[in-house]
Chain A
Amino acid sequence: MYSVNYHRASSVADAAKLIKKGDAKFLSGGMTLIPAMKTRLAAPSDLVDLNHIAELKGIKVSGKTVTIGAATTHYEVATDEKLKKVCPAIAELAGLIGDVAVRYRGTIGGSIANNDPAADYPAALMALDATVVTNKRQIPAEKFFKGLFETALKDDEIVTAVTFTAPPKAAYQKFPNPASRYAITGVFVTKGKDGVRVAVTGAGDNGVFRSKEIEAALAKKFDAAALDGVKVPSANMMTDMHASADYRANLVLVMAKRAVTAANAGA
């Protein structure tokens, strides 16, 4: 790691000010940034630590409305009893991220701001039709995620919370990379009053996306059998040494079927 100036932000406003120093970066859980710095692949001049800002922490559930503070850890999301009652799918997803150490440090705000194409949360936010709240505005999830490691965030913009309405039915199924345990393919399905939404992470060559083919089939009948014979195109799937585009396209369908079955069982 190169030497770096560390700043502990006391408030969101303070953080927005501090980020203007040099080539500064926000530090949330640090589960991606710190390893990149340790291997000298990232070299920010300054770090602005968001972990000690009280207003960014905690989970609020009011009726079906859920608000998760940006600095809330995966562990907290995975174990929050109120959240597990209204939307167990997102709690289960959080419990599948990385390993225990990662879940104890990593945060939802950090994860979505990084927008790793194989991260789990982007699929959840897209399928839940969530809103990303920042210090400047509110951004619908579908407008927030923009391809590989890119988001709608401006340089001094800070994610403060994620909010969504818990749907009656939701589930996430993940096929992890055996080495990194990131998603080779993860599928989050929801069925709410506005219909069926199916978001896929890990598989697409441009980050998280909604599968129109699967959504159309499930709109007719929300059942795994409705997906028999559905063709998921492999054209825009990623190919790497771990999985070919064909294999990922297959996994999208298999994970979607399993997610639908789980969503129906959980309802």
Chain B
Amino acid sequence: MGIEGIGARVARKEDKRFITGAGRYVDDMVVPGMKHAAFVRSPYAHAQIRKIDVKAAQAMPGVIAVLTGKELKADGIGNLICGWMIHSKDGSPMKMGAWSPLAVDKVRYVGDAVAIVVADTKGQARDAAEAVEVTYKELKAVADVTEAVRKGAPQIHPEAEGNLIFDWEIGNAKETEAAFKKAAHVVKMDVINNRLVPNAMEPRAALGHYDKAEDHYTCWTTSQNPHVARLVMSAFYNVAPENKLRVIAPDVGGGFGSKIYIYPEELVCLWASKKSGVPVKWVADRSESFLCDAHGRDHVTHAEMAFDENHKILGFKVETMANLGAYMSLFSSATPTYLYATLLSGQYDIPAIHGNVKAIYTNTAPVDAYRGAGRPEAAFLVERMMEVSARQFGISPAELRRKNFITSFPHQTPVIMNYDAGDFAASLDAAMKEADYAGFAKRKAEAAKRGKLRGIGMSCYIEACGIAPSAAVGSLGAGVGLWESAEVRVNAVGTIEVLTGSHSHGQGHETTFAQLVAERLSVPLDSISIVHGDTDKVQMGMGTYGSRSGAVGMSAISKALDKVEAKAKKIAAHLMEADEGDIVIENGALKVAGTDKSVPWFQVALAAYTAHNLPGGMEPGLKETAFYDPSNFTFPAGCYICEVEIDPDTGVTEIVQFVAADDFGNIINPMIVEGQVHGGIAQGIGQALLEGAHYDPDSGQLLTASYMDYTMPRAADLPSFKVSTSNTPSPSNPLGMKGCGEAGAIGSPPAVINAITDAIGTEDLTMPATPQKVWAAIRSATKH
């Protein structure tokens, strides 16, 4: 099975339908009688709703229903929730403002949904949405966190005084203060982590269908976790009990975190279907995606690091303000706390850390997890700090890191995480060798002759994946467990269906999950199907985010395979009159080790279902279920090195070399892993050089609301990446996997900015480092 099993570069099974345009997305779904929805959205960032007049809209051609928040409330539909409770350092629970799926008396960001129109065609729905007359009283808006916490700033929710949601801390303040008192050097810096728009290729969409005869709802939606969507819509939003609500997430064209959350639209489409008596479909246009998808990042941080006279780190102090936007999205409270500050130790042995995070409301789109989710913010901060410190000390950035690396495992950090395995020096060595770090000075001199500023920067990132041990996250405030489920069904003819609670929206699970089964059961890849994304087919599962589907999702499959194998061996032993312990699985058959006796796999399966000749007392059938709850997070880590050349006349940065040396633990399909790293680095370079969401500070209008102004990375913006792995298996799951989906986006931004600041000789540069900013930084550096 070497060519199709673990470690093989198998071409993705799902790509045939994707690249031939035969994928089935929510917008491809058609239900008899289906109608189309458009949302009326707030043009203001902050306003009171005085009156909503729907009469004119109701009279428009093709209109079936115009529904508002008042009717939604009257039907008992609940407010949107945040599923992770954070307590402030004074012990008080986070101050969550109400988020009505359709705004009732106030709108809080541009794009806030106010009403839904259902009509025969999409065009008619839009026409009628424009005819809904909403009388607003505009209020002062605030888009920036530093402004939102000032005295006299507009108050966004009555529940959160001064717009402060929580003031949370981690680590030990006293020990950290004591460490700073002993310090020989203290390095201080201010860091902004720029706000990003996720930009999945497929915009969000929902099709709600209420079946009156069955009193049953079906929701097709662009979700990374359909079971969680069903749970939340049943338990909190009062749409319907779980047995009367089926959620289907078919092919989904990218998520990057933005499709984890349950948004107003899918909920309102379900409710509107019952209310209007027709199935209701809504598909976001790109403008709605920009305005209303949960954005990512948006941190403002001050940090100080204390070192002894030998440049060993003594302590780290971090104060962060996190912009959560106008409403608390589903996991918004976890992202800037337990997914961020728990990684402030980086790859380093830091005796004392104290982190303080203030979460703040602003009149902007909600902010939640986006590829990396908190970990890119931590890596950017720690790795900028290490580079800047090394420069201040006049020592090599690699040596400063090496001197402070954690070298023995397990390692308990002062910020909760217990690193189970890793070899940070191995990744650093591999990256420096591949990048010819030693030859940089020569390349820099050569570039100078051409009038170019050449710089090199590195980043030694670590992240926590394999999310997550349920009891541990429960104790930290999570409202759900983060295990995963799997069912392995062997059919009577030996073909196999795997039902997984993970959800693939680009990751290639149909291939990698099948490779695991092919390896274990020694059957052809083509005989294995992966089923996911439908709550009526698949047992409860937790979905895909946080690079968890390999480490957690496949571990569940592995556990189910253990059970299938054990039963199959019992049957084979019985059929061959051999000892169960002597049975091995090889080349599509179950064999008695050391003999030529064997039964083909399909015969064992058939025997299980005919049940004519099974061991005494054995139940017929060959199908097993497993739930896997990880014992720890996993800790992918690595070293990225970026080399740039800058044109001082224009400020244009060209990435001339990008090296990634990662430790992902065991790997199922190296080609898919490389693809994940390539995509992640592209997004990371996007954040570092190109992407940034900008709101007008006064009006709260999103200025970068289309591709005319928001720069997505394109092939021509990126170099060819040199990627490699040097892997230490994770001891925390049966497959030794760590996860690779977010690493590229986490590790790359600090490497890029470290390289640019090395080239231009000033640290005063924010992301995205656009040509204008780099040019201005060079000018202000040379003026001094």
Contact = CB atoms under 8 A, between A and B. Distances in A.
Interface stretch (B273-281, B718-726, B768-776): B768-776
B649 A247 contact: no
B772 A244 contact: yes
Given A39-B287, A244-B772, A250-B775, A179 B710 contact: yes
Contacts of B126: 40
Interface stretch (B142-150, B362-370, B587-595, B701-709): B701-709
B711 A178 contact: yes
Interface in B748-772: 770-772
A242 B776 CA distance: 13
Given A178-B690, A242-B770, A254-B650, A247 B707 contact: no
Interface size class for chain B?
20 to 34
A244 B708 CA distance: 17
A1 interface: yes
Contact of B772 (A2, A180, A242): A242
Interface in A176-192: 178-180
Q: Which 3 A-B pairs have the closest CB atoms?
A: A179-B711, A180-B708, A178-B711
Contacts of B717: 178
14 contacts: A40-B126, A40-B130, A175-B650, A179-B709, A180-B707, A180-B708, A241-B694, A241-B709, A242-B709, A246-B776, A247-B651, A247-B772, A251-B650, A254-B650
A33 interface: no
A119 to B, nearest CB: 13
Interface string B405-443: 000000000000000000000000000000000000000
A180 B650 contact: no
A251 B130 CA distance: 42
Contacts of A247: 651, 772, 775-776
Interface string A26-58: 000000000000011000000000000000000
B127 interface: yes
B775 A178 contact: no
Interface of A: 1-3, 39-40, 175, 178-180, 241-244, 246-247, 250-251, 254
A191 B711 CA distance: 36
A31 to B, nearest CB: 12
B123 interface: yes
B132 to A, nearest CB: 15
A251 B651 CA distance: 10
B38 to A, nearest CB: 11
Contacts of A250: 649, 775
Contacts of A1: 123
Contacts of B712: 179
Interface string B284-298: 000100000000000
A141 B232 CA distance: 63
Among B126, B127, B707, B772, the one with the most A-chain Cβ atoms within 10 Å of its Cβ is B772
A3 B772 contact: no
Contacts of A251: 650
Interface string B120-152: 000100110010000000000000000000000
Contacts of B711: 178-179
Nearest to A38: B285
Nearest to A179: B711
Nearest to A185: B650
B548 to A, nearest CB: 33
A84 to B, nearest CB: 23
Among B287, B649, B651, B707, the one with the most A-chain Cβ atoms within 10 Å of its Cβ is B649
A175 B652 CA distance: 10
Contacts of B772: 242-244, 247
Nearest to B696: A241
A179 B127 contact: no
A242 B709 CA distance: 8
A126 B709 CA distance: 27
A178 B772 CA distance: 11
Contacts of B771: 175, 178
A180 B712 CA distance: 10
Contacts of B694: 241
A179 B650 contact: no
Contacts of A40: 126, 130
Nearest to B708: A180
Contacts of B649: 250, 254
A2 B770 contact: no
A100 to B, nearest CB: 13
A180 B709 CA distance: 6
Contacts of A39: 287
Interface in B639-694: 649-651, 690, 694
Interface in B236-270: none
Given A2-B123, A175-B650, A247-B651, 6 more contacts: A40-B126, A175-B771, A179-B707, A241-B703, A242-B772, A247-B775
A262 B690 CA distance: 28
Contacts of A175: 650, 771
Nearest to B717: A178
Contacts of B127: 2
Nearest to A182: B708
A30 to B, nearest CB: 16
Contacts of A241: 694, 703-704, 709
A251 B649 CA distance: 8
A246 B712 CA distance: 25
B691 to A, nearest CB: 9
A148 to B, nearest CB: 16
Nearest to B773: A247
